[in-house]
Chains A and B, each alone.
Chain A
Amino acid sequence: MKAVEVRGLARVFNAGRPNAVDALVGIDLEIESGSFVSLIGPSGCGKSTLLRLIANLLEPSAGEVLVNGKTALRARLDQDYGMAFQQAGLFDWRSVVKNVELPLELKGWDKLKRRQRATEMLDLVKLSEFAGHLPWQLSGGMQQRVAIARALAAHPPLLLMDEPFGALDEMTREHMQGELLRICGETSTTVVFVTHSIPEAVYLSTRVVVMSRRPGRITDEIDVDLGTTRSEETREADAFFKKITEVREALRSDDLPGRGITDIRDIEGR
């Protein structure tokens, strides 16, 4: 079963105007259920746009998107996916547990059931003792874990993440990566993950999709066979470094004349 199927997808911003931009052209992508796919590429390559097209937060200019065999619109209305952004985006005026309950509330779950589920989700992200806290009383990493709990509260089969750890420091970030793999393993969730970081993409993914810009397109897909259970040792394995080099070269190979090497430094620096 395919979690996501994308065929001939294109998106033009400011269509028909002089400042029209081809954000994405000719995107074909298939994502198997249970896989973890990262989208990586320089700023402006359209990876966030692709994620939003899958999420039906944007409409495609051409082509089609199927999520769990349904149209993207149907999938969104059925809440077949959960989403997490770079900013945790928790509501300041709601306690942590009430933030996790939000999608269930919108779906019309009754109070008892949604409190029960939210409590389970906070257990899963190891934040049970902070249920009654307000979001701004938590650290950035903790806030992001609440956001993941919220995204997964309705048990969607698919999780869409747009640079969720981009604003975290390196130590927290590595910890969160491990936590994300554990959580997705326990809930058998398919993940589409947008990132700027090569090591992050390699560590997390079963497949890395390399994108390039002007126009945004997929230039390479690299399978990452580091096994299903990954640990801190994985980060020191030779195979891990080999994959990092492979992804880096895939990114570099599309370095066009007129585009400085600084772009690549940008990618690695983030």
Chain B
Amino acid sequence: MGSVPTWRSRRTRGLWQRAGRFGLFAVSLALVGVGWELYKWLGPQDGGTLLGWTILPRANDQAMPHVWEMLSRFAQPERRGVEGSILGVVLAGAWYSLRLALAGFGMGMVVGLGSAVVMARFDVVRRGLLPYLVVSQTVPLIALAPLVVSWGGKLQIGDFEWPRWLSAAVLGAFLAFFPVAVGTLKGLTSAPPSSLELMDSFAASWRQTLFKLRFPAAVPYMVPALRLAATASVVGVVIAEISTGLAGGVGRLIIEYAREATADPAKVYTAVFGAAALGLLMAGLVALADLILMRNRPKEMAA
């Protein structure tokens, strides 16, 4: 009984593992940079072609700026004659998009959780609804974005006027709800039959079983689903910004800077890095929730 591992020692070990994982991430980032430069050095300047097909990307400075050029571009102003570095512009854009992504993530979670509960409760709903959920994800977001914007424009509920940013958030939610719905459904139905039988033997209602057994049992399935949803909401928002031209976010910066790629090839990468950082930040938020939700679970399950 003395060998029962205490909770503190587990937590310390967990922290070390996390620090190690973070270090590994830094190493992998550096490796990507090295790989990029290596290709620039060895790759064909004008792309490799085979029987008229371009199979290797061009390695010239135009298509692939040096890593240090992309990084140093952050310190320079957005365009000539403007005060302040481009870093501030990208950060402001990322902050705007982050709020949209959070709104989309929140909406996606509510819709995803709601549909998962209904599908877990009613088998007939699950069989009817699930195929539509799958089909919904095959609709290209680029096609859907202008539609959602125009629907929003026509919507009038009392004094409420549909703002343009809400369309982008809705598109984020559209991508985010799917993994939540599928993961939660899987989790809600993962409770072992013996535990369900136990709840029956205590004459527990469906609601009690949902909150005291099914949801807690679903947490290990929900965490990876939420991680997917968090990054998906960023993708949805950025694509919505690009395809609807919504100003203020990092998506708009990407199209604007891409147009200037001939003159200033490193510029667009600052916005791309901004979008990537956004996805990492969202995934980090979920990782934090994971730490809190899974703190009491056996280690094997948390893996």
Residue numbers of A with Cβ under 8 A of B are 55, 57, 76-79, 81-83, 85, 87, 89, 91-95, 102-103, 105-107, 133-134, 136-138, 160
Contact = CB atoms under 8 A, between A and B. Distances in A.
B5 A137 contact: yes
B201 interface: yes
20 contacts: A55-B201, A57-B197, A57-B200, A76-B201, A78-B203, A79-B202, A82-B201, A83-B198, A85-B194, A87-B192, A87-B194, A91-B195, A91-B216, A92-B298, A93-B216, A94-B296, A106-B199, A106-B204, A138-B4, A160-B201
Interface in B160-219: 192, 194-195, 197-204, 208, 212-213, 216, 219
B301 interface: yes
A79 B202 CA distance: 6
A92 B198 contact: no
Shortest 7 CB-CB contacts between residues of A and residues of B: A136-B298, A83-B201, A93-B216, A103-B202, A77-B203, A106-B204, A137-B4
Most B CB within 10 A of own CB, among A55, A87, A93: A93
Contact of B198 (A85, A93, A136): A85
B13 interface: no
Contacts of B201: 55, 57, 76, 81-83, 160
B297 interface: yes
A93 B296 contact: yes
Given A89-B194, A91-B213, A93-B219, A106 B202 contact: yes
Contacts of A81: 201
A133 B4 contact: yes
Contacts of B298: 92, 134, 136
A89 B4 contact: no
A79 B203 contact: yes
Interface of B: 4-5, 7, 192, 194-195, 197-204, 208, 212-213, 216, 219, 296-298, 301
A245 B198 CA distance: 35
Contacts of A107: 202
Contact of B197 (A85, A106, A137): A85
Contacts of A133: 4
Contacts of B194: 85, 87, 89
A106 B212 contact: yes
Given A106-B208, A138-B4, A89 B203 contact: no
B198 A89 contact: yes
B15 to A, nearest CB: 19
A60 B103 CA distance: 52
Q: Determine chain A's interface SS by DSSP, over half rule.
A: loop
A57 B195 CA distance: 12
Contacts, number: 59
A79 B199 CA distance: 11
A102 B208 CA distance: 11
A102 B202 contact: yes
* B192, B298, B301 — most chain A CB neighbours (10 Å): B298
Given A106-B212, A133-B4, A92 B200 contact: no
Contacts of A137: 4-5
Nearest to B209: A106
Nearest to B199: A106
Contacts of B208: 106
Given A102-B212, A136-B298, A137-B4, A89 B195 contact: yes
Contacts of A160: 201
B223 to A, nearest CB: 13
A48 B233 CA distance: 49
Nearest to B300: A136
Given A79-B202, A137-B4, A137-B5, A92 B197 contact: no
Contact of A76 (B5, B203, B212): B203
Given A57-B200, A160-B201, 12 more contacts: A57-B197, A82-B201, A85-B198, A89-B192, A89-B194, A89-B195, A91-B213, A92-B296, A92-B297, A94-B296, A106-B212, A137-B4
Nearest to B5: A137
Nearest to A133: B4
Contacts of A136: 298
A246 B297 CA distance: 47
B272 to A, nearest CB: 40
Nearest to A75: B203
Contact of B212 (A105, A134, A138): A105
